Amino acid sequence: MKPIRVEDLSITLGSTRILHDISFDVRAGECFGLVGESGSGKSTILRCMSLLMSAWQGRVMIGEDDLRGLPLARRCRTLQMVFQDPYGSLHPRQSVRTTLSEPLRIHGIVDRDDRMARTMTDVGLPLAFLDRFPHQLSGGQRQRVAIARALILEPEILLLDEPTSALDVSVQAEILNLLAELRERRGFTYIMVSHDLAVVDHMCDRFAVMQKGHLVEVLTRGALTGIPDEQPRHPYAKELIEASIAYDRAM
Protein backbone atom coordinates (compact mmCIF):
# COMPACT_ATOMS: atom_id res chain seq x y z
CA MET A 1 0.00 0.00 0.00
CA LYS A 2 1.25 3.49 -0.83
CA PRO A 3 -0.04 6.96 0.07
CA ILE A 4 -0.64 9.65 -2.55
CA ARG A 5 0.11 13.35 -2.29
CA VAL A 6 -1.16 15.82 -4.90
CA GLU A 7 0.48 19.25 -4.76
CA ASP A 8 -0.68 22.35 -6.70
CA LEU A 9 -2.09 20.39 -9.64
CA SER A 10 -3.15 22.81 -12.37
CA ILE A 11 -3.96 22.52 -16.06
CA THR A 12 -4.85 25.06 -18.74
CA LEU A 13 -6.44 24.06 -22.05
CA GLY A 14 -6.27 26.81 -24.63
CA SER A 15 -7.04 29.99 -22.73
CA THR A 16 -9.15 28.26 -20.08
CA ARG A 17 -7.74 27.13 -16.76
CA ILE A 18 -9.42 23.84 -15.89
CA LEU A 19 -7.81 23.03 -12.54
CA HIS A 20 -6.57 25.60 -10.02
CA ASP A 21 -3.74 24.49 -7.69
CA ILE A 22 -5.38 21.29 -6.43
CA SER A 23 -3.74 19.78 -3.33
CA PHE A 24 -4.81 16.81 -1.23
CA ASP A 25 -3.37 13.66 0.29
CA VAL A 26 -4.66 10.09 0.35
CA ARG A 27 -3.54 7.69 3.05
CA ALA A 28 -2.26 4.23 2.13
CA GLY A 29 -5.23 1.86 1.83
CA GLU A 30 -7.78 4.69 1.92
CA CYS A 31 -10.69 5.27 -0.47
CA PHE A 32 -10.72 9.01 -1.19
CA GLY A 33 -13.64 10.57 -3.06
CA LEU A 34 -13.89 13.50 -5.46
CA VAL A 35 -17.40 15.00 -5.69
CA GLY A 36 -19.00 18.01 -7.32
CA GLU A 37 -21.22 19.00 -10.20
CA SER A 38 -20.47 18.04 -13.80
CA GLY A 39 -17.59 20.04 -15.20
CA SER A 40 -16.01 20.74 -11.83
CA GLY A 41 -12.77 18.98 -12.75
CA LYS A 42 -13.14 15.64 -10.95
CA SER A 43 -12.36 13.35 -13.89
CA THR A 44 -9.68 15.74 -15.15
CA ILE A 45 -7.74 15.14 -11.93
CA LEU A 46 -7.75 11.39 -12.62
CA ARG A 47 -6.72 11.92 -16.23
CA CYS A 48 -3.79 14.03 -15.09
CA MET A 49 -2.77 11.48 -12.46
CA SER A 50 -2.90 8.66 -15.01
CA LEU A 51 -0.94 10.86 -17.49
CA LEU A 52 -3.70 10.54 -20.07
CA MET A 53 -3.34 14.32 -19.93
CA SER A 54 0.27 15.41 -19.64
CA ALA A 55 0.30 19.21 -19.97
CA TRP A 56 -0.29 19.89 -16.28
CA GLN A 57 1.73 21.63 -13.63
CA GLY A 58 2.29 20.61 -10.03
CA ARG A 59 3.43 17.36 -8.48
CA VAL A 60 1.93 13.95 -7.70
CA MET A 61 3.83 11.79 -5.24
CA ILE A 62 3.26 8.03 -4.94
CA GLY A 63 4.90 7.16 -1.66
CA GLU A 64 8.36 8.73 -2.00
CA ASP A 65 8.31 8.68 -5.82
CA ASP A 66 7.39 11.54 -8.13
CA LEU A 67 4.78 10.18 -10.57
CA ARG A 68 6.37 11.83 -13.59
CA GLY A 69 9.74 10.31 -12.72
CA LEU A 70 8.51 6.72 -12.60
CA PRO A 71 9.53 4.54 -15.57
CA LEU A 72 6.50 3.67 -17.70
CA ALA A 73 6.48 -0.04 -16.82
CA ARG A 74 6.71 0.65 -13.09
CA ARG A 75 4.01 3.32 -13.28
CA CYS A 76 1.63 0.93 -15.04
CA ARG A 77 2.24 -1.69 -12.35
CA THR A 78 1.68 0.86 -9.59
CA LEU A 79 -1.40 2.72 -10.81
CA GLN A 80 -4.36 1.72 -13.00
CA MET A 81 -7.68 3.33 -13.92
CA VAL A 82 -11.26 2.06 -14.28
CA PHE A 83 -13.37 4.19 -16.60
CA GLN A 84 -17.02 5.20 -16.43
CA ASP A 85 -18.28 3.41 -19.54
CA PRO A 86 -17.11 -0.21 -19.73
CA TYR A 87 -18.39 -0.68 -23.27
CA GLY A 88 -16.44 2.34 -24.51
CA SER A 89 -13.24 1.37 -22.65
CA LEU A 90 -13.10 -2.23 -23.95
CA HIS A 91 -12.01 -3.03 -27.51
CA PRO A 92 -15.09 -4.46 -29.28
CA ARG A 93 -13.03 -6.90 -31.36
CA GLN A 94 -10.91 -8.26 -28.53
CA SER A 95 -12.00 -11.15 -26.37
CA VAL A 96 -11.70 -10.97 -22.60
CA ARG A 97 -8.70 -13.30 -22.88
CA THR A 98 -6.93 -10.91 -25.25
CA THR A 99 -7.83 -7.89 -23.11
CA LEU A 100 -6.28 -9.49 -20.02
CA SER A 101 -3.31 -11.20 -21.65
CA GLU A 102 -2.03 -8.18 -23.60
CA PRO A 103 -0.73 -6.28 -20.52
CA LEU A 104 0.90 -9.48 -19.26
CA ARG A 105 2.63 -9.98 -22.60
CA ILE A 106 3.83 -6.35 -22.72
CA HIS A 107 5.29 -6.60 -19.21
CA GLY A 108 6.89 -9.99 -19.81
CA ILE A 109 4.86 -11.81 -17.17
CA VAL A 110 5.05 -15.55 -17.80
CA ASP A 111 2.35 -17.06 -15.55
CA ARG A 112 -0.38 -15.59 -17.74
CA ASP A 113 -2.98 -18.36 -17.52
CA ASP A 114 -2.73 -18.58 -13.73
CA ARG A 115 -2.93 -14.83 -13.29
CA MET A 116 -5.90 -14.48 -15.64
CA ALA A 117 -7.73 -17.30 -13.84
CA ARG A 118 -7.03 -15.73 -10.45
CA THR A 119 -8.15 -12.28 -11.61
CA MET A 120 -11.37 -13.59 -13.16
CA THR A 121 -12.14 -15.32 -9.87
CA ASP A 122 -11.38 -12.09 -7.98
CA VAL A 123 -13.99 -10.16 -9.99
CA GLY A 124 -16.58 -12.93 -9.83
CA LEU A 125 -16.60 -14.06 -13.46
CA PRO A 126 -16.43 -17.68 -14.71
CA LEU A 127 -13.35 -18.70 -16.67
CA ALA A 128 -15.57 -19.54 -19.66
CA PHE A 129 -16.05 -15.78 -20.12
CA LEU A 130 -12.41 -15.45 -21.20
CA ASP A 131 -13.49 -16.33 -24.74
CA ARG A 132 -16.40 -13.90 -24.88
CA PHE A 133 -16.41 -10.47 -26.51
CA PRO A 134 -17.79 -7.26 -24.94
CA HIS A 135 -21.06 -7.40 -26.90
CA GLN A 136 -21.72 -10.85 -25.40
CA LEU A 137 -21.61 -9.47 -21.84
CA SER A 138 -24.03 -7.45 -19.74
CA GLY A 139 -23.09 -3.98 -18.51
CA GLY A 140 -22.14 -5.28 -15.08
CA GLN A 141 -20.07 -8.10 -16.58
CA ARG A 142 -18.27 -5.65 -18.86
CA GLN A 143 -17.39 -3.47 -15.86
CA ARG A 144 -16.08 -6.54 -14.03
CA VAL A 145 -13.85 -7.19 -17.04
CA ALA A 146 -12.69 -3.55 -16.93
CA ILE A 147 -11.84 -3.98 -13.24
CA ALA A 148 -10.05 -7.26 -14.04
CA ARG A 149 -7.97 -5.47 -16.67
CA ALA A 150 -6.99 -2.88 -14.05
CA LEU A 151 -6.11 -5.63 -11.56
CA ILE A 152 -4.17 -7.90 -13.90
CA LEU A 153 -0.81 -6.17 -13.29
CA GLU A 154 -1.48 -6.20 -9.52
CA PRO A 155 -1.22 -2.42 -8.97
CA GLU A 156 -1.35 -0.70 -5.59
CA ILE A 157 -3.56 2.22 -6.62
CA LEU A 158 -6.83 2.29 -8.58
CA LEU A 159 -8.33 5.47 -10.03
CA LEU A 160 -12.11 4.97 -10.33
CA ASP A 161 -13.92 7.36 -12.65
CA GLU A 162 -17.61 6.95 -11.76
CA PRO A 163 -17.29 3.17 -12.22
CA THR A 164 -21.00 2.45 -11.62
CA SER A 165 -22.84 5.43 -13.11
CA ALA A 166 -23.50 3.68 -16.45
CA LEU A 167 -25.04 0.63 -14.72
CA ASP A 168 -28.48 -0.29 -13.41
CA VAL A 169 -29.03 0.37 -9.71
CA SER A 170 -28.95 -3.30 -8.69
CA VAL A 171 -25.75 -3.88 -10.67
CA GLN A 172 -24.21 -0.73 -9.17
CA ALA A 173 -24.49 -2.27 -5.71
CA GLU A 174 -22.77 -5.47 -6.89
CA ILE A 175 -19.82 -3.54 -8.37
CA LEU A 176 -19.47 -1.28 -5.31
CA ASN A 177 -19.48 -4.28 -3.00
CA LEU A 178 -16.88 -5.96 -5.24
CA LEU A 179 -14.63 -2.89 -5.08
CA ALA A 180 -15.03 -2.64 -1.30
CA GLU A 181 -14.19 -6.33 -0.90
CA LEU A 182 -11.11 -6.05 -3.13
CA ARG A 183 -9.82 -3.08 -1.14
CA GLU A 184 -10.34 -4.92 2.12
CA ARG A 185 -8.67 -8.09 0.86
CA ARG A 186 -5.82 -6.67 -1.22
CA GLY A 187 -5.15 -3.33 0.42
CA PHE A 188 -5.68 -1.05 -2.58
CA THR A 189 -5.61 2.73 -2.34
CA TYR A 190 -8.57 4.19 -4.27
CA ILE A 191 -9.38 7.64 -5.61
CA MET A 192 -13.03 7.56 -6.67
CA VAL A 193 -14.90 10.18 -8.68
CA SER A 194 -18.65 10.19 -8.10
CA HIS A 195 -21.62 12.52 -8.39
CA ASP A 196 -23.60 10.28 -6.02
CA LEU A 197 -22.98 11.08 -2.35
CA ALA A 198 -24.62 7.80 -1.33
CA VAL A 199 -21.83 6.00 -3.18
CA VAL A 200 -19.27 8.21 -1.43
CA ASP A 201 -20.85 7.44 1.95
CA HIS A 202 -20.67 3.70 1.18
CA MET A 203 -17.11 3.64 -0.17
CA CYS A 204 -15.03 6.59 0.97
CA ASP A 205 -13.26 7.45 4.20
CA ARG A 206 -12.83 11.10 3.18
CA PHE A 207 -13.79 13.17 0.14
CA ALA A 208 -12.95 16.47 -1.54
CA VAL A 209 -15.63 18.82 -2.86
CA MET A 210 -14.83 20.36 -6.26
CA GLN A 211 -16.34 23.53 -7.76
CA LYS A 212 -15.32 25.04 -11.10
CA GLY A 213 -11.84 23.55 -10.99
CA HIS A 214 -11.18 24.47 -7.37
CA LEU A 215 -10.99 22.12 -4.39
CA VAL A 216 -13.13 23.93 -1.84
CA GLU A 217 -13.07 21.54 1.14
CA VAL A 218 -11.95 18.09 2.27
CA LEU A 219 -14.48 16.30 4.51
CA THR A 220 -14.89 12.99 6.29
CA ARG A 221 -17.82 10.61 5.91
CA GLY A 222 -19.21 12.18 9.08
CA ALA A 223 -20.28 15.20 7.00
CA LEU A 224 -22.81 12.92 5.29
CA THR A 225 -24.05 11.21 8.45
CA GLY A 226 -24.74 14.30 10.55
CA ILE A 227 -21.78 14.30 12.96
CA PRO A 228 -21.79 17.92 14.26
CA ASP A 229 -18.02 18.49 14.42
CA GLU A 230 -17.49 17.24 10.87
CA GLN A 231 -20.02 19.36 8.98
CA PRO A 232 -18.89 21.40 5.95
CA ARG A 233 -17.92 25.06 6.35
CA HIS A 234 -17.72 26.14 2.72
CA PRO A 235 -21.11 27.40 1.41
CA TYR A 236 -20.98 25.29 -1.78
CA ALA A 237 -20.08 22.12 0.12
CA LYS A 238 -22.98 22.77 2.51
CA GLU A 239 -25.38 23.34 -0.38
CA LEU A 240 -24.23 20.21 -2.23
CA ILE A 241 -24.64 17.94 0.79
CA GLU A 242 -27.96 19.45 1.85
CA ALA A 243 -29.35 19.05 -1.68
CA SER A 244 -28.24 15.39 -1.79
CA ILE A 245 -29.81 14.63 1.60
CA ALA A 246 -33.05 16.36 0.60
CA TYR A 247 -33.18 14.38 -2.64
CA ASP A 248 -32.61 11.07 -0.85
CA ARG A 249 -35.40 11.85 1.61
CA ALA A 250 -37.77 12.74 -1.23
CA MET A 251 -37.05 9.40 -2.88
Residue 178 domain flag = yes
78: domain range? 27-52+72-250
Degrees, nearest 5: CA angle 165-218-22: 85
Residue 66 domain flag = no
pTM beyond 0.85: yes
Degrees, nearest 5: CA angle 39-41-46: 130
Q: What is the pLDDT of residue 249?
A: 57
The residues pairing with 62 across neighbouring beta strands, listed in sequence order, are 4, 65
Can you tell me the distance from the alpha carbon of 192 to that of 203, in angstroms, rounded to the nearest whole number? Answer: 9
Residue 96 domain flag = yes
Residue 166 domain flag = yes
Domains of the chain: total: 1
Residue 110 domain flag = yes
Degrees, nearest 5: CA angle 226-229-231: 55
| CATH number for the domain that contains residue 96 | 3.40.50.300
The residues pairing with 59 across neighbouring beta strands, listed in sequence order, are 7
Render each residue's pLDDT in the chain as its tens digit; 251 residues: 789 999 999 999 988 999 999 999 999 999 999 999 988 999 999 999 999 998 999 999 999 999 999 999 999 999 999 998 888 889 999 999 999 999 999 999 988 999 999 999 989 899 999 999 999 999 889 989 999 999 999 899 999 998 888 778 888 888 888 899 989 888 899 999 998 898 899 899 999 999 999 999 999 999 988 788 889 999 999 999 888 776 555 55
Phi-psi region of 114 (alpha: psi -120 to 50; beta: other; left: phi over 0): alpha
